[in-house]
């Protein structure tokens, strides 16, 4: 005779992931038979909304897709548009785009580490609870996030949905005085960024050895942000234009979020994948800090993602200082753009992982078709795979409330964004 028990855990008022989500588990004994991460996100039709729009409108429109990583959407878009039109904005624009991306990595990673993930690992229900016992750490997170926001504002005009980016460059170049002030603030943030790597490595992280295929950009000379080829730990090495021939994005019945597979299997994008595929591209100060923290990379523990995020904060601070220290204001902050028909591909490394865009334009430079593949949709299948293994290792004999907390920890570790992601967590457990 089989028995079935089902519970629903209602959403807290202050959730730590955005969107709506639920997880359904069907278990038999100590084995999980089915895992369904259900994402409830009303269609927003961004790709259709772009059709018929002038190319110049695209960067500001796609910035609205995500409030945490608008820069990533803008950078993938302008890269694709410029490739379609066959233009090169030049070294100054390239350098400043990297600086702006540094700002997004700093603010997004700092928010995730201190306000979303660390409370899970330290046993707190929220960052507010954590702040009562660890006020200095929470203040550090907010301070680093503020530095990242200010860096975005330097070139974007504002930190949320910035408006300074345009096809061909930027609408405005900051003054040397503004840049000097920013460099001083970045230098002051270095000790916090260095301390953060060791602090994350010292957190009581669960131990979970898993096998996964990592996918990220790889650049010939630098740690990837805005440029590179798509590579994987399984040997993939392709141009951006070949993405659709190697990755399959599809709808599943239990979720409104799309799932992505490579060669029919889940794969990982994000800071851990990026770091493990680009360890040799780390600047020496970051490599030294990572070596000293005690966590050895490459690693098979998904929870070491938080250490990878900390390392990328340190990298972004160093990179922004390096680039801005040699700043010279150009006579022109953008180059002229002559649109024509064509297809362009763009991919950059959002804080959460690879973000791929494709645009087709008519002769007047208006969008005929658009496709955008965000990192969270690429991680969905990997999250379900992780949930299955992690929960079986944890043990299904735990109470449903304990299972819910472990599920939330696993999912939040990926820093999902499905409102580009999920108020967590409604959990339904069927036991036989």
DSSP assignment of 373-427 equals E-HHHHHHHHHHHHHHHHHHHH-TTS-HHHHHHHHHHHHHTT-----------EE
pLDDT at 423: 36
pLDDT at 425: 56
pLDDT at 424: 45
Residue 133: burial class (beta carbons within 10 Å; 0-12, 13-18, 19+): exposed
Query: Checking phi first, is residue 342 left (phi over 0); if not, alpha (psi -120 to 50) or beta?
Result: left
pLDDT at 398: 87
Q: Residue 403: is its pLDDT beyond 80?
A: yes
Whole-number average pLDDT of the chain:
90
CA 351 to chain centre: 3
Residue 426 pLDDT class (50, 70, 90 cuts): low
> Which range (42-51, 79-88, 257-266, 270-279) has the least confidence?
42-51
Domain ranges, ordered by start, for the chain: 21-43+380-431, 46-336+345-378
Which pTM does this prediction carry? 0.92
Three-state DSSP at 57 gives: helix
Q: Residue 198: is its pLDDT beyond 60?
A: yes
Three-state DSSP at 331 gives: coil
Segment 164-182, tens digit of pLDDT: 999 999 999 999 999 999 9
Of 406 and 199, more confident:
199
φ/ψ of 263, rounded to 5, equals 55, 40
Q: Residue 154: is its pLDDT beyond 50?
A: yes
Residue 258 pLDDT class (50, 70, 90 cuts): confident
Residue 396 pLDDT class (50, 70, 90 cuts): confident
pLDDT at 7: 33
Residue 6 pLDDT class (50, 70, 90 cuts): very low
Q: Residue 428: is its pLDDT beyond 70?
A: no
CA 49-15-409 angle, to 5 degrees, is 105
Residue 18 pLDDT class (50, 70, 90 cuts): very low
Residue position matching structure tokens 């250490």: 307
pLDDT at 263: 94
In 3D space, the residue among 289, 314, 305, 318 whose CA is nearest the CA of residue 383 turns out to be: 305
Residue 259 pLDDT class (50, 70, 90 cuts): confident
d(C-alpha 21, C-alpha 84), whole Å: 37
Q: Residue 20: is its pLDDT beyond 70?
A: no
* CATH number 3.30.420.40 given to 46-336+345-378: no
Could you tell me what percent of the chain has a pLDDT over 90?
74
d(C-alpha 146, C-alpha 159), whole Å: 10
Q: Residue 162: is its pLDDT beyond 50?
A: yes
Q: Residue 41: is its pLDDT beyond 80?
A: no
Of 48 and 240, more confident:
240
């Amino acid at each position: 005779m089989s028995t079935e028990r089902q519970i629903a855990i209602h959403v807290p008022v202050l959730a730590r992931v955005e969107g709506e989500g639920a997880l359904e588990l069907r278990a038999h004994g100590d084995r999980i038979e089915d895992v369904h991460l259900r994402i409830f996100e009303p269609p927003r039709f961004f790709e259709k909304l772009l059709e018929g729009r002038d190319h110049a409108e695209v960067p500001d429109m796609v910035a609205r897709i995500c409030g945490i990583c608008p820069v990533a959407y803008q950078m993938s878009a302008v890269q694709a548009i410029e490739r379609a039109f066959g233009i090169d904005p030049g070294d100054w624009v390239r350098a400043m785009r990297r600086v702006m991306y540094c700002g997004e990595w700093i603010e997004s990673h700092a928010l995730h580490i201190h306000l979303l993930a660390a409370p899970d690992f330290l046993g707190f229900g929220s960052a507010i609870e954590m702040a009562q016992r660890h006020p200095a750490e929470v203040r550090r997170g907010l301070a680093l996030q503020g530095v990242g926001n200010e860096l975005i504002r330097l070139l974007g005009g504002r930190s949320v949905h910035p408006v300074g980016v345009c096809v061909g460059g930027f609408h405005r170049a900051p003054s040397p005085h503004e840049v000097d002030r920013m460099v001083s603030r970045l230098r002051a943030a270095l000790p916090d960024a260095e301390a953060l790597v060791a602090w994350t490595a010292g957190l009581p992280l669960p131990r979970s050895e898993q096998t996964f295929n990592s996918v990220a950009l790889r650049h010939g000379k630098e740690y990837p942000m805005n440029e590179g080829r798509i590579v994987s730990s399984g040997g993939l090495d392709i141009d951006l234009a070949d993405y659709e021939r190697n990755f399959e994005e599809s709808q599943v019945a239990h979720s409104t979020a799309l799932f992505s597979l490579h060669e029919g299997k889940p794969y990982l994008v994000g800071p851990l994948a990026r770091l493990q595929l680009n360890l040799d591209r780390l600047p020496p100060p970051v490599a030294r800090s990572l070596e000293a923290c005690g966590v050895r990379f490459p690693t098979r523990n998904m929870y070491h993602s938080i250490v990878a995020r900390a390392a990328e904060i340190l990298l972004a601070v160093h990179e922004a200082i390096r680039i801005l220290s040699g700043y010279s204001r150009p006579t022109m902050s953008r180059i002229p753009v002559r649109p024509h028909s064509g297809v362009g591909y763009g991919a950059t490394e959002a804080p959460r992982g690879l973000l791929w865009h494709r645009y087709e334009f008519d002769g007047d430079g208006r969008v005929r078709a658009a496709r955008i593949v965000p990192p969270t949709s690429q991680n969905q299948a990997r999250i379900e795979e992780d949930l299955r293994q992690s929960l079986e290792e944890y043990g299904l004999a735990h109470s449903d409330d304990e299972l819910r907390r472990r599920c939330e920890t696993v999912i939040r570790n990926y820093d999902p964004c499905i409102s580009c992601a999920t108020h967590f967590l409604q959990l339904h457990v069927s036991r036989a």
